Structure 1
Amino acid sequence: MVERIARAGNRTARPARKAPARPSVVEALASSLGFEGERMSKVDTAWLRMDSDVNRMMIVGVWILRPGITLAALQERVRDRLLPYRRFVQAAREDATGAHWVDDPDFRLERHVTAQVLRRRRGESARSALQARVADLAMQTLDPQHPLWHFELVEDHEGGSTLIARIHHCIADGIALISVMMSLVDGGPPPRQRRPRTTEGGKLDAAELWLADTLIRPLGDLTARALDVAGGGAARTLAMIGSPQQGLSESLEQAGDLARLGTQLASDLAALALMPDDTPTSLKGQPGGQKAVAWADPVPLDEVKAVGKAMNCSVNDVLLSCAAGAIGHYLRQQGENTEGVEIRAMVPINLRPMEQAWQLGNRFGLVPLVLPVGIEHPLERLFEVRRRMNALKGSLQPILTFGLLSLAGLLVKPAQDAMLSLFGRKTTAVMTNVPGPAKKLKFCGATLEQTMFWVPQTGTVGVGISILSYGGGVQFGMIADRTLCADPQAVIDGFEPELTQLLALSLMLPWGEA
């Protein structure tokens, strides 16, 4: 197998031959097994196989719309704006070499876009009923025989409508899906079309595309552009690795960059390999397979920015500090001693230029962020979060975790599960922080008043926290396994008081001083 991969790599490195390209070994085997279509990347394959009885690998989103919309209007919009993305009319088919995307011969829009009447128990609020429905759907398996996504519309809900979207992570990551969803809104850009890449002879070589997408580009120009924000030297060196013919004139400078990159790489690899296990808390353990979902009303983004400016911290520092404070407060409410307690959250980091988000797939890495939930003083906690975030700048850990996911997609599923369990043992939560549109959007004539989303948790991780800025506000949401946290609303309700404390302390500062 190693020799075949090496030979495929050599073919990728040599110029294309004039003779028509022959089908690769991978393609020939897939064809003999009855699988035709586009080869799935190894990273996406890893996500496809990560589903378990306690965690489904779906990105779950909620749109609250006012006034309400109809199912017919939703289906028409999906038909016009979503189905042009081929992934949404393709099914995933696993085979001996990984997985393929194949067109669904029995695709029916009515199977994927449905309506639901939300029934409430006596004394249950409309929001609680909606949260319960979202939690139930988060654990419902998508039909593997058809495209792995589903939209459910609650047509009559609190004077409007609510759209619950579920999309399997193997289709795309959160950044890519935001690009897709933006094409759905009124006035959004039309879907862009992916053009199949071919060799000179016109035949798509799946092995070559896999090597390019999984091994060369992640360590080449793609990641280099993503790292350019953090450090130009490392970015230029990675670009040289991806395109060595472009770097000869700057060899001395890049040699120094390469040495520094090697040192950084070794340091970050050791940091990942030697991560200690999390401090035991009630939020960590074996999930039971039932979810609970919570969210609160948005807090004004201007208040978050004001705190950041007064304290010389980034908006991200302020939000993560509030998250750590809310979690710590919740644990103390449960009677737990939080002195010195820290929990690790895996934070997704985008590794692709934003203009390429429409191409779908997964192009992100993970950074392990240790949250000081045991620090009760809000300012002390904020400055400690700032210090830790600054220490992560320029880290290569997102690339390393992306590479681990690529490697996981090469392994048989038991080996993949064993490899990825490393993160589960050392992680309490997955935390996402995504900036959204500054102004509220329209969808089928209605105003998108509020939006939430949750990314899946892998292995035995049972907590997911999402932070999304939209329409001038910041939305906090949480999804948790009921065995580990039966009432995530108690955690979410702690975010606003933490921000209020920081805002009050900021206003107490002398004018003109930070």
Structure 2
Amino acid sequence: MSDRLSTLDYSFLSLERGELPMHMGSLMVFEGPAPTYEEFRSAIANRLDLLPRYRQRVREVPMQLNAPVWVDDPHFQLDYHLRHIALPPPGGEEQLQAITSQLLDQRLDLSRPLWEAWLIVGIDGDNWAVLNKTHHAMVDGLGGTDMIEAIMDPKPGGTEPEPSDWAPTSEPGNSSLLTAALTDLIKEPIRTIEQVGEATRAPRTAAAATAAQLAGTVKAGDKLFHSEDFLIGPVGPHRRWTWVEMDLDTVKGVKNKFGGTVNDVLLTATTGGFRALLLERGEELASDATIRTMIPVSVRQGAKSSGGNAVSAVFTDLPVGEPDPIEVLNLIRTDMEHLKRSPEALAVPALLNASTFVSPGLLSAAGRLAARVPQRSVGTVTTNIPGPQHPLYFMGRLMTGLVPFVPLGPRIRVAVALMSYNGGVWAGINADYDAVPDVEQVPEGMVATLSDLAHQR
């Protein structure tokens, strides 16, 4: 039986149709020498059995009776998904950022498996890279990290997997899709009713959980009623992608000196980056000026890495009007401690569970509408993805950098993704090409803020 997309997975497809590219990505930089395209292709082909979703495409259900399903692509061609490009001289970071920004502009073909991988050669210093693009409907940030580790080796002399004799399973016909869709439509409300029955047998536990979900939904709703005009506006089709590396030990040193968590320190650095951007633009910032950010929160359980999205979200305000980075850290730490104790993160799963009773056609239309309706509450997205803290190798070459990429949302012109790897933290900043031509101010401000905190006594 084919796997069905979850409501959240399906929503990302709907947003894509609402004129927003919804792929995630990462840039993996390696020490040389660069492999040939044939060597690169062979290495990926040998690992595809570890990533079954990479050979599957989305198949719509007739009449949109239910969410689409994942089916094996009977016409899967690996060479369509693997691309090869060389940087123009001198092959520095400026050329790498320009090329990767252009590649990330390009949408994935929704009729094929939802991924691409680009082999990039000609990087200064005998380095090379792989740019990975994967649709958000297929994987969230943490799941994507699991997949990176799945195709990497912990040692330079890793054993190459044996290629399989994979063949696609027969694609279901329309009648099979309709039957399965109807069956699932019946099962989901029954499962919900069964949960209600279980709740009546444990009323106190159920009441507490329901109250928490309701309170979380109300709190999340309150956060959405917020007017912020610094960064919000129409989003065009093109992107500027820039990045910076920070030292994880420095981040931890600041945490140990002033309290809080690694995430608190990184949010403080991000606040400093946005403050630098706004000051460079000549904005007069009041002392209480803020930018509201949505922070995705993983609800993935255990070691599950089967793909799909297992995320919720919380909202916090980045105090860009506060000039003292220590006070910024204190404000963020206090707010994040409150969020950890609050039920706000339960709001998104609660709302998605309620959508069991909403038709997929209506959900799809709602997703397209959401991409067009003006929102004035969320100014940016900030996600922190914990990566592997040990060296990883691909084809015997050491990975020296791992830069994350997250898509923009409706009227969200800048998004920040943070990922740690082997003692470093990479911040990937994705911005609308026309609206944020000065995006480089953000990583520069982040580094300056972290340095300021590290030298404070």
Q: TM-score, normalised by structure 1?
A: 0.76
| 2:401 corresponds to 1:450 | yes
Tell me the CA shift for residue 269 of structure 1: 1.5
Write the distance in 1 (CA, Å) between the matches of 2:409 and 2:256. Answer: 36
Q: Over residues 471-509 of structure 1, what are the superposed CA-to-partner deviations in whole Å (9 max), with x where a residue is unaligned?
A: 11111120000232113222111111101111111xx2x
2:241 maps to 1:280: no
For the residue of structure 1 that corresponds to 2:229, the secondary structure is: coil
Would the aligned equivalents of 1:307 and 1:503 in 2 still touch at CA under 8 Å?
Answer: yes
Evaluate the alpha carbon distance shift between residue 279 and residue 215 of structure 1 in structure 2; reply closer, same or farther with a 3 A threshold: farther
Pick which of 262-271 and 174-183 moved more: 262-271
**Deviation digits for residues 106-158 of structure 1 (CA, Å, limit 9, x no counterpart):** 111111112112235xxx76211111122112221212221111001013312
Question: What CA distance in whole angstroms lies between the structure 1 residues aligned with 2:26 and 2:397?
Answer: 17
Q: Distance in 2 between matches of 1:243 and 1:309?
A: 48
Query: SS in structure 2 opposite 1:82?
Result: helix
Residues 431, 463 of structure 1: CA spacing in aligned structure 2 closer, same or farther, 3 A cutoff?
same
Aligned pair partner of 2:329 in 382, 385, 389: 382
Q: Classify the secondary structure of the residue corresponding to 1:382.
A: helix
Which has the bigger relative contact order, CA under 8 A and spacing at least 6?
A: 2
2:303 to 339, 355, 379: 355
**What does 1:455-466 correspond to in 2, within 5 Å?**
455-466=406-417
Contact 1:409 1:416 in 2 (8 A): no
Distance 1:170 1:106 in 2: 21
- Which of 109, 112, 120 aligns to 2:78? It is 109
Alignment partner of 2:377 out of 401, 415, 426: 426
Report if the CA contact (8 A) 1:330-1:491 is conserved.
Answer: yes
Specify the alignment match of 1:47 in structure 2: 12
Give the Cα separation in 2 of the matches to 1:207 and 1:361. Answer: 22
Q: Which residue of structure 2 lines up, in the alignment, with residue 244 of structure 1? A: 198
Residue 165 (structure 1) aligned with residue 132 (structure 2): yes
Quick check: 203-212 or 437-446, which moved more?
Answer: 203-212
Which of 493, 498, 501 aligns to 2:444? It is: 493
Name the residue aligned to 2:146: 179
Q: CA deviation at 1:49?
A: 1.6
Give the distance between the partners of 1:315 and 1:215, measured in 2 at CA: 43
In 1, distance between residues paired with 2:188 and 2:388?
Answer: 30
Assess if the C-alpha contact under 8 Å between 1:154 and 1:162 holds in 2. yes
Q: Secondary structure at the match of 2:59?
A: strand
TM-score (norm 2): 0.85
Q: Is the 8 A contact 1:81 1:184 kept in 2?
A: yes
The number of equivalent residue pairs is: 428
SS at match of 2:142: helix
Q: Say whether residues 1:316 and 2:263 are aligned partners.
A: yes
Checking the alignment, whether the CA contact within 8 Å between 2:319 and 2:328 is kept in structure 1 is yes
AA at the equivalent of 1:55: L
Question: What's the counterpart of residue 266 of structure 1?
Answer: 214
Report the more deviating stretch, 47-56 or 372-381: 47-56
Take 1:78 and 1:409, find their aligned partners in 2: how far apart are those partners?
Answer: 38
CA–CA distance in structure 2, aligned partners of residues 288 and 481 of structure 1 = 6
**Which of 131, 138, 141 is the equivalent residue of 2:104?**
138
Q: What is the one-letter code of the residue matched to 1:47?
A: F
AA in 1 matched with 2:111: Q
CA contact (8 A) 1:429 1:464 kept: yes
Q: Which entry has the higher C-alpha Rg, 1 or 2?
A: 1
Matched, 1:346 2:311: no
Question: Where do residues 19-30 of structure 1 align in structure 2 (5 Å cutoff)?
Answer: none
- 3-state SS, counterpart of residue 216 of structure 2: helix
Amino acid at match of 1:58: H
Cα 1:475–1:214 shift into 2, 3 Å:
farther
How far apart, in 1, do the equivalents of 2:350 and 2:374 lie? Answer: 14
Change (3 A) 1:441 1:264: same
Q: Shift of residue 178 of structure 1? A: 1.0
Q: Deviations over 1:216-258 (max 9, x none)?
A: 69x9xxxxxxxxxxxxxxxxxxxx959939x96xx5xx71x44
Alpha-carbon offset, residue 368 of structure 1: 1.4
| Distance change (3 Å), C-alpha of 1:414 and 1:376 | same
Pick closer, same or farther for the CA change 1:440–1:212 going to 2, 3 Å: farther
Seq. identity, %? 26
RMSD: 3.1
8 A contact 1:341–1:372 mirrored in 2? yes
Change (3 A) 1:213 1:293: farther
Q: Look up the equivalent residue of 1:379 and give its one-letter code.
A: I
How much does 1:211 deviate? 7.7
Match of 1:62 in 2: 27
Corresponding residue for residue 397 of structure 1: 344
Who is 1:469 aligned against? 420
Mark the runs of 5 or more structure 1 residues left unpaired by the alignment. Answer: 1-35, 194-202, 220-239, 509-514
For 1:421 and 1:405, locate their aligned partners in 2 and report how far apart those are by CA, in whole Å. Answer: 21
Tell me which amino acid in the other structure corresponds to 1:181.
I
Amino acid paired to 1:179 = D
The residue matched to 2:289 in structure 1 has which SS? Answer: coil
